[in-house]
Amino acid sequence: MNVHQLLSGAGPHDAITTEAAQFRARFTEWGWGGRDHAARLAPGLNGAVRPLSQFAPAPDDVLLLHHSAGSPRLERLLAWSNRKLLLYHNVTPPEWLWGHAPLVAVHCALGREQLPELVAHATVAAADSEFNASELRALGAQRTEVIPLLLDRAPLGPPGSGERAGPPTILFVGRLSPHKRQEDVIRVFALYRRQHAADARLVLVGDPVTEAYVERLRSLADQLAPGAVTIESQISQAELGDHYRAADVFLCLSAHEGFCIPLLEAFHFGVPVIARPSGAVPETAGDAALLVDDGDPAVIAELLHLAVTDAELRASLAQRGRLRLDAYTPDVVATRLRAAVEATAGAIG
């Protein structure tokens, strides 16, 4: 069997591209062929993903459509009569982006506009969280499968010893983008630092939606917590692992998440997680994170203080995090993926 993966965009640091590569490795292991193509290619992929213009499937091939943004020339894709497995990763609501990155916002708006058509043409509809699957059902999908994001922990390295030394370090990993609310993270961190730990550090890791937005974050950090905030982009998985090992708490105040894989990364490293329960966050985190939907930054600052200083609370969260990871092992995800692809290939029509 041939399974071709089609992505709206691909880049070397992109989570969906990474997942597609992991899927491809599994497909090869199962003796399946096929190629991966994307409408937009960022530099640095070294030929792993081909341009969509070179896509030409045989009639019996299965198409796996990863949907995370608008796909130009979607009608050409849908015109192929092949069986299609739609895997919906969610699309950021464009309202967050019009003011900062209008081109990205256009792709997001287009992605949301195209979703009903994709659902209508999908042989099987799947999503990487129940939250995302509910959007597909709202658009008429009769039956939806959930295939969680595949986290490959090996490149991140092993967890650290767990012994804390030095000033408290707060970490957030996620695209530097308005809907991830790094601005709120900086505000809460500044309060925590002022009230409890003058030497605390905040590390924000992620690729910027625009350089101007990163400048805005830097300016806010300089104003509220001068010298205490580090912003890093384009780092390797090994360097990301080092940041998790050095972190005391992972603080996620994102307003929209379709899955939130950094939560699982934090669990892997035994780092206590505090998160806003938006989108798929409660589902991904289960009982292993401290969820807070308070609008009062002082409450979150106090929760941060508790998570940094209460050793037993930290140990309890680390233990729950390890258990939570069992639901997302590569084998669990691979089994669901295989079942969905085989259901697509075996479907009549």
Partner 1 sequence: MTEPEEALMRARAAAAQMRAAGAYADEGTIDPEPSDSITLAKLYEWALIEPDLRDVRSTRRYGAPMTALKHGLLRLLGQYHSALIAEQTRFNVNLLVHLKRLEDRIEALERRAEK
Using CB under 8 A as the binding rule, whether residue 50 contacts partner 1 is answered as no
Site for partner 1 in 169-208 (CB under 8 A): 178-179, 181, 184, 187-188, 191, 195
93 or 330: whose CB is closer to partner 1?
A: 93
Q: How far apart are CA 98 and CA 105, in angstroms?
A: 5
Q: How far is the CB of 64 from partner 1 (least distance, A)?
A: 26
Ramachandran area for residue 253 (φ above 0: left; ψ -120 to 50: alpha; else beta): alpha
Residues 218-237 as x/- pattern, contact with partner 1 by CB under 8 A: ----------------x---
Using CB under 8 A as the binding rule, whether residue 298 contacts partner 1 is answered as yes
Among 301, 308, 334, 337, binds partner 1 (CB under 8 A): 301
Q: How far is the CB of 38 from partner 1 (least distance, A)?
A: 16
Using CB under 8 A as the binding rule, whether residue 312 contacts partner 1 is answered as yes
166 or 295: whose CB is closer to partner 1?
A: 295
- With contact defined as beta carbons under 8 Å apart, do 261 and 151 qualify? yes
Among 104, 151, 217, 307, binds partner 1 (CB under 8 A): 307
Residues 97-116 as x/- pattern, contact with partner 1 by CB under 8 A: -xxx-x--------------
In the complex, the residues that contact partner 1 under the rule CB under 8 A are 42-44, 93, 95-96, 98-100, 102, 178-179, 181, 184, 187-188, 191, 195, 210-212, 215, 234, 253, 255, 276, 278, 287, 290-292, 294-303, 305-307, 310, 312-313, 316-317, 320
